[in-house]
Structure formats: structure tokens, C-alpha cells
């Protein structure tokens, strides 16, 4: 199957001992099971893709008529979270109703995990953009201010892409090249090295790394 991604849920973090005896911090992810709800083809839609849905219980009254018809056409139970993923091969045999499971991933390979980062509310330049700030000495009137934002003679305007205080976090973030430490096919669990964006309980998307690092790095 050419579908190289899966929808999951971030469960939290833990530590396990690696084969070399080192203690490794890992994030525990529930990866699937997922089912293919819709198949898009280049002949009909202009591109090849598969619409995945995370298999979990959803109350029928929570699904509107349009989506009820969509699931009924695919002959699958109502789903809460769905995501479309591109398929590279136009002659791929993926079809509606196929299951996508955690067993598609192997220990040792690299994955990219996409989620929504924790919202931090309003933050200034020092916290949001890591500004150094001014002197913290007596008489200084420049501590945590952003400083010059454009100049009067040149460019006589605010610099393009200038960093300002504002809403920090609550944005889509992708953690790239995370190493898979362990795959539990019985519980649909995936343990990846390091941290993953967002809080526990967040829906995330896992796919095999697009730009995987060379082995040994």
C-alpha cells in the first residue's frame, strides 16, 4: 500500500531503555487504526489521493446528513477525524474500505509528526521571538521593548516580516525526522524519540519522513 501516513492521538511521554542501555525520552502515539473513506484518482479528480478516517466511536446524532451519506457510500461507520493524503503512484491498488494500520511503520525508521502546538496566549517579543532585550541596569529605559522596527530615513516604513508581540503558539507544527523506537501492533501504539507538538489527547498526523536523514546521523 502506497499510503505512507496515518492519523493518531498523542497520549503522552515516557522513558524506555534502548538496546545500547541508554534511557531515551519518547512520545507515545496511538496510531490508527484508520480506514480509507474515499479514493481520488488523476482521471476523475486531477490527482491521486486517499481520504483516511480514524476509527473511533462517534454518536450518530453528531453526524450531519451530508457526512452520513458520505460514510454510507463508503460503507464505513461514522468517523470524527479525517485527512486526505496524496498517493505518489497513479496505479496504486488502494481502495475504499482498506485499513491502514500501525504495522506500516517499522522500528528504526524516521517519521514526520504534524500537530497543533500549545497556545501560550499573548506574548511579547522576548518570549515569542527570543529577543535579547536591553540592559537591565539602573537608568536604562530599554528592557523588553522590540527596538527599532524600520528606521525613518530608510526604508521609511516598517520592515517586511517584522516580528511583533502577539498570539504565541496554537499553530500547525511538524516535528521532522523523529526516530521510531518501538511499534506495538496489539495496542496500535507508536513510540517515537523526542517530543511531539501539542498537548496530550491531541489528534496528530504521522507519515514517513519526506527528507529522512542519512543513517547514523
pLDDT tens, 156-198?
Answer: 899 888 999 999 999 999 999 999 998 888 888 999 999 999 9
Look at residue 209 in the predicted model and tell me its pLDDT. 86
Q: How far apart are CA 34 and CA 170, in angstroms?
A: 26
The mean pLDDT value of the chain amounts to 87
Which three cell numbers, joined as nine digits, stand for 63? 453526524
Does residue 74 have a pLDDT over 90?
A: no
The answer to whether 75 and 84 have CB atoms below 8 angstroms apart is: no
Ordered structural domains, the chain, with CATH: 5-119+173-208 (2.40.30.10), 120-168 (no CATH)
110 band by pLDDT with thresholds 50, 70 and 90 = very high
Does residue 217 have a pLDDT over 50?
A: no
Prediction pTM value: 0.80
Does residue 123 have a pLDDT over 90?
A: yes
The pLDDT tens digits for 90-102 are 566 778 888 888 8
Task: Please list, in sequence order, all residues whose beta carbon lies within 8 angstroms of the beta carbon of residue 115, skipping any fewer than 6 positions away.
Answer: 10, 172, 173, 175, 196, 197, 198, 202, 203, 204, 205
Amino acid at each position: 500500500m502506497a499510503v505512507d501516513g496515518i492519523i493518531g492521538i498523542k497520549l503522552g511521554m515516557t522513558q524506555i531503555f534502548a538496546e545500547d542501555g541508554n534511557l531515551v525520552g519518547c512520545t507515545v502515539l496511538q496510531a490508527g487504526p484508520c480506514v480509507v473513506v474515499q479514493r481520488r484518482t488523476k482521471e476523475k479528480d486531477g490527482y491521486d489521493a486517499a481520504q483516511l478516517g480514524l476509527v473511533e466511536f462517534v454518536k450518530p446524532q453528531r453526524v450531519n446528513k451530508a457526512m452520513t451519506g458520505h460514510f454510507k457510500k463508503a460503507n464505513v461507520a461514522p468517523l470524527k477525524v479525517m485527512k486526505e493524503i496524496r498517493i505518489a503512484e497513479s496505479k496504486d491498488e488502494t481502495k475504499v474500505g482498506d485499513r491502514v494500520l500501525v504495522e506500516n511503520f517499522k522500528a528504526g525508521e524516521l517519521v514526520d509528526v504534524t500537530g497543533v502546538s500549545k497556545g501560550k496566549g499573548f506574548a511579547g517579543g522576548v518570549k515569542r521571538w527570543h529577543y535579547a532585550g536591553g540592559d537591565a541596569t539602573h537608568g536604562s529605559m530599554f528592557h523588553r521593548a522590540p527596538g527599532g522596527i524600520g528606521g525613518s530615513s530608510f526604508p521609511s516604513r516598517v520592515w517586511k516580516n517584522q516580528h511583533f508581540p502577539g498570539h504565541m503558539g496554537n499553530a500547525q507544527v511538524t516535528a521532522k525526522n523523529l526516530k521510531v523506537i518501538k511499534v506495538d501492533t496489539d495496542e496500535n501504539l507508536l513510540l517515537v524519540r523526542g517530543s511531539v507538538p501539542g498537548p496530550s489527547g491531541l489528534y496528530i498526523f504521522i507519515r514517513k519522513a519526506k527528507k529522512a536523514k542519512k543513517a547514523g546521523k
